[in-house]
Amino acid sequence: MSTWITICDTCKTESWDAASGRTDGEALAALIEPAAAARGVKTRRVSCLMGCKQGCNVAIQGADKLNYTLGRFEPTAEAAEAIADYAALHQESATGQVPFRQWPQGVKGHFVTRHPPLPSEDA
Ligand code: FES
């Protein structure tokens, strides 16, 4: 089952440079997209994940898996690689849970919420 990285493309960090011509979220998305594609992970952009005060924000989601929101990222290649690495591990996991010892260093301290999978319709 595919893991998706949903990237907020309207996030701005406190150090956002308005003269850059794009938001920090757009900059981070542009870095995550090729890194995720190289790992077989899907991406999409949305405008606002409602975590604006702690941007940049992304969600890591897969059907019937634990899903997560992560924030407080700067739009750097290191952050994008860590997010893509974590998403690839999430995709490999049957439940979406990734053992802490496997977490890329760059995602530690960035988890904001965890969403358990919905019960099946038959439950
Ligand atoms: S602008 Fe990114 S969460 Fe609202």
Residue by residue, pLDDT tens for the chain (123 residues) are: 899 999 999 999 999 999 999 999 999 999 999 999 999 999 999 999 999 999 999 999 999 999 999 999 999 999 999 999 999 999 999 999 999 999 999 999 999 999 999 998 766
β-strand partners of 68 = 60, 114
Identity of the amino acid at 60: I
Rounded CA-CA distance 5/13 in Å is 19
Q: Which residues, 6 or more positions from 111, have their beta carbon under 8 angstroms from its beta carbon?
A: 68, 69, 70
Sequence ranges of the domains in the chain: 4-115
Whole-number pLDDT of residue 121: 78
Rounded CA-CA distance 120/27 in Å is 37
Give the residue, out of 16, 24, 28, 50, with the most ligand 1 atoms within 8 A of its beta carbon, to mutate for a pocket test.
50
Whole-number pLDDT of residue 120: 83
Separation of CA 52 and ligand 1 centre (Å): 4
Pocket of ligand 1 (CB under 6 A): 8, 10-11, 25, 48-52, 55, 57
Q: In this structure, what are the phi and psi dihedrals at residue 29, rounded to the nearest 5 degrees?
A: -60, -40
Whole-number pLDDT of residue 1: 81
Fold of 4-115: Glutaredoxin (3.40.30)
pTM over 0.85: yes
Structure tokens at 1: 């089952």
Whole-number pLDDT of residue 123: 63
User: Could you report the per-residue pLDDT of 18-31, keeping only the tens digit for each?
Assistant: 999 999 999 999 99
